[in-house]
Amino acid sequence: MAKCDESMMAMTVAEFIAATADKTPTPGGGSVAGVVGGLAVALGEMALAFTRGKKKFAEHEPFYAHLAQRLAKARGMFQDLVADDVAAYGLYQDAARREDSADKAGAVQLALAAAIDVPRQASKLALALMEDLLALAPRCNPYLISDLTAAAALAAATVRLCDYNVRVNVPQVADKAAAEDIRSGSAADLAAAEKLLARVEETARQWLP
């Protein structure tokens, strides 16, 4: 079984699933969220790849070229966030093991900040992806519209997974006002994701009755 300090992205699909099922803290929900986000991007890229270059959509080529760059960057960012999630958990473990109570409390708060920051970044990235998918939907090859809609559904699921990760960590944040801001921001992202998914599905409805 692969160790937590090895690159998650170097695993095969079967290895990642087995590592997730194993009795180890990572990969866990945060890492899975990053992978789901990466898969959402990949499906969007596939839909784009089977749309570009067709005469029917020739007028949109500048848009496709710009979008292809954005999606490729987003895919790489999701992969980085998987590694960041594992690193954040390692920081928390190290902080929790400290013996000096004062030093430990400060270290735990710093580790919590890192553990919360990763899903917040992933959530924002997933929302940006959903905006891109919504823009692509009316200019997408109809034969790929189900894949594009599936990409949006996975992106929305990524936001929900990130919200779970935020909510489980926020109660430990010492600054309660900051904690409430984080919680409400995450909830707002989840509501935005649900609305974006509905808009993508509405755009796709002419092909997906």
**Within a domain: residue 58?**
yes
**Within a domain: residue 17?**
no
**Within a domain: residue 42?**
yes
**Within a domain: residue 46?**
yes
Q: What is the pLDDT of residue 162?
A: 97
**Within a domain: residue 196?**
yes
Tell me, what CATH number does 158's domain have?
Answer: 1.20.120.680
Q: What is the pLDDT of residue 64?
A: 98
Number of domains into which the chain is organized = 1
**10-residue averages of pLDDT along the chain (209 residues):** 55 90 89 96 98 94 98 97 89 82 83 93 98 97 97 98 96 94 98 98 89
- 67-124: pLDDT as tens digits: 999 999 999 999 999 999 988 888 888 888 887 777 788 888 888 999 999 999 999 9
**Within a domain: residue 152?**
yes
Radius of gyration, alpha carbons of the chain: 19
List of long-range contacts for 64-72, beta carbons under 8 Å, 24+ apart: 64/139, 67/132, 67/135, 67/136, 70/132, 71/41, 71/44, 71/45, 71/129, 71/132, 72/45
**Within a domain: residue 15?**
no
Output the pTM of the full model: 0.92
Domain that holds residue 76: 29-204
Q: What is the pLDDT of residue 25?
A: 84
**Within a domain: residue 20?**
no
